[in-house]
Amino acid sequence: MRRPTSIAPPKGTLGVLTPGMGAVSTTFMAGVELVRKGYALPIGSVTQLATIRLGQRTARRSPLIREFVPLEKLENLVFGGWDIFPDTAYEAARKAGVLEPQHLEQGKDLLSTIQPMTAAFDQAYVKKLDGPHVKKAKTKLDLAEALKEDIQRFKKESGAQRLVMVWCGSTEVFQTPHLVHADPARFEKAMKENHPAIAPSMLYAWAAITSGVPFANGAPNLTVDIPALQELARGHNVPICGKDFKTGQTLLKTVLAPGFKARMLGLHGWFSTNILGNRDGEVLDDPDSFKTKEESKLGDIFGWLGYPMQIKVDYLCRDSILAAPIVLDLVLFLDLAKRAGLAGIQEWLSFYFKSPMCAPQLYPEHDLFIQLMKLKNTLRWLRGEDLITHLGSEYYD
């Protein structure tokens, strides 16, 4: 790929649109507001806290990533979204029960102004869920066109110059690629014909891409992981990425597994129990939605001569607390990618996903450390800095 000669500076405000305003989305919005007001720190966000080493080690250049590449500032983010329930972001955050009342109050002024737009929803794709705040239309194409109108209206009303969309909606039922996903023409025909292989999340993705809006998929749904939408993304110069935010057990697995692999230790598998909370937990109570989410359950490790060992991790995580900074980083990096002229699948953002998207002829890279190296090297490449390979002189590189 040719390196962009320049990256357009972030002018004006950046609008963040989330289909789905539940636990993850509202924890993200509230968090940004709390950080802006100085009540909290953006812990877990690489864009806000991480540094990047540049050049030889003797140069001692390690700026903050947000000072090295022109990222939008938190002060300039505005928020919008869709949900099948009419609750404001404040109400939704309260019901999600992730944040303490004190934090909810500190973010209330902003959150209570964020009213969801009516959703493109079909219960056939999320069986355990139903709600009143939905669009009615004859065809899926009509629904998608209505989403495009929402996007334009939001842009006008919020004054945002640029937009990014991140799917934070419920996990849809498991789907495999279908012939109608093969190219944009077949996809659009299928939308007109209300074909069952077109899920609501795909309508949002189509609306975003054809409006020139970068799109990230935070759930394990197929969504943009199909040739039709990837081709459209390239054609409209839109960066896309997915899928399924890397939080919880998978985050730990992709930290531990590369360590075992590096030491050539054996792994029989992981045995894991996953206790799901929130509305997402209810949705995943349906076997079809859970199939989309199901995690591999493996076991013990073994060493020299095959001797068994065991590792136990008692990881009481808060999924939305881990997911919120991922949403923030994806928003800022996708916006950067767009201003740099990058389009199609952004594999350098694999770092944030459980099932990273990649070109069809490649296999996905899961190792968190390789993913981080790829992310940082992409940033160095964007700015014309030397890539860090750790291959140079032992004293300098």
Ligand X SMILES: NC(=O)c1ccc[n+]([C@@H]2O[C@H](COP(=O)([O-])OP(=O)(O)OC[C@H]3O[C@@H](n4cnc5c(N)ncnc54)[C@H](O)[C@@H]3O)[C@@H](O)[C@H]2O)c1
Of 173 and 342, nearer to ligand X (C-beta) is 173
One residue of 47, 211, 217, 320 binding ligand X per CB under 6 A: 320
**239 binding ligand X? (CB under 6 A):** no
**351 binding ligand X? (CB under 6 A):** no
Q: In this structure, what is the dihedral angle of CA atoms 334, 335, 339, 342, given to the nearest 10 degrees?
A: 10
> What six digits make up the tokens of 266?
């054996």
CB of 255 to ligand X, least distance (A): 16
**82 binding ligand X? (CB under 6 A):** yes
State how far the alpha carbon of 196 is from the alpha carbons of 177, 181, 200, 278, 287, in Å.
Answer: 12, 11, 10, 28, 18
Cα separation, 211 vs 128, whole angstroms: 31
CB of 329 to ligand X, least distance (A): 14
CB of 81 to ligand X, least distance (A): 8
One residue of 35, 213, 219, 240 binding ligand X per CB under 6 A: 219
Task: Look at the chain and count its residues.
Answer: 397
CB of 218 to ligand X, least distance (A): 4
**31 binding ligand X? (CB under 6 A):** no
Of 74, 62, 72, 164, which is closest to residue 380 (Cα–Cα)?
A: 62
- Strands (DSSP E) found in the chain: 13-19, 77-83, 117-118, 160-167, 215-217, 239-242, 266-267, 301-302, 308-309, 344-345
**272 binding ligand X? (CB under 6 A):** no
**24 binding ligand X? (CB under 6 A):** yes
**168 binding ligand X? (CB under 6 A):** yes
Of 305 and 316, nearer to ligand X (C-beta) is 316
Answer for the pair 21, 320: CB distance below 8 angstroms, yes or no: no
Applying CB under 6 A, the site for ligand X has a residue count of 36
> What six digits make up the tokens of 107?
């973010």
**319 binding ligand X? (CB under 6 A):** yes
Cα separation, 214 vs 166, whole angstroms: 8
Tell how strand 301-302 and strand 308-309 pair up.
Answer: antiparallel
**150 binding ligand X? (CB under 6 A):** no
One residue of 10, 22, 242, 325 binding ligand X per CB under 6 A: 22
Of 68 and 270, nearer to ligand X (C-beta) is 270
Bridge partners, residue 353, by sequence: 245
One residue of 42, 80, 184, 200 binding ligand X per CB under 6 A: 200
Which residues form the interface with ligand X (CB under 6 A)? 19-25, 82-85, 96, 119-121, 126, 129, 131, 168-171, 200, 218-219, 244-245, 247, 278-280, 283, 319-320, 322-323
